[in-house]
Amino acid sequence: MTVPGPPSDDAATRALEALIGQIDRSVEELHRARERAVTLLADRRAGRRWLELVTQESRPLVVESISSVLSSLATAGHTWRREEAAALQREQVSINRIAALFGVTRQRISALLKGTGPTAGD
């Protein structure tokens, strides 16, 4: 008897693929932000004034890049977590067990699962 493999087009799989893509984009953006921060530090150590550095820095600013990355990762991570919980629920895993796996309360998992039914996204 063969057991079918997991579907490759379910919502949890798509959310995980999206998360991986966002992680990759975030790494690239953080690398650029780091390079810019290193340049700012070198310019400051060379004696340039903060006002000069800040007014000449092109957008997005280092801090804007970091904030954007954090926001994008939080969104993608939340979507992945919600879809992962929904997938576990479709596999008949109890909310209490999902909560224990995620290290959160049962109430948090219930809130996370609101709006995700057995047919949502699959």
Question: Does pTM surpass 0.85?
Answer: no
Task: Find the domain containing 74 and state its range.
Answer: 11-113
Q: What is the pLDDT of residues 6-27, one digit of tens each?
A: 665 699 999 999 999 999 999 9
Q: What is the pLDDT of residues 39-73, one digit of tens each?
A: 999 999 999 999 999 999 899 999 999 999 999 99
Q: Does residue 3 sit within a domain?
A: no
Q: Does residue 5 sit within a domain?
A: no
Q: Does residue 17 sit within a domain?
A: yes
Q: Does residue 47 sit within a domain?
A: yes
Q: Does residue 16 sit within a domain?
A: yes
Q: Does residue 121 sit within a domain?
A: no
Q: Give CA–CA dist 30/78, Å, rounded.
A: 20
Q: Give CA–CA dist 17/83, Å, rounded.
A: 12
Number of domains in the chain: 1
Tokens of 64: 């804007």
Q: Does residue 76 sit within a domain?
A: yes
Alpha-carbon 71 to chain mean position: 8
Cβ-contact 21, 73 below 8 angstroms: no
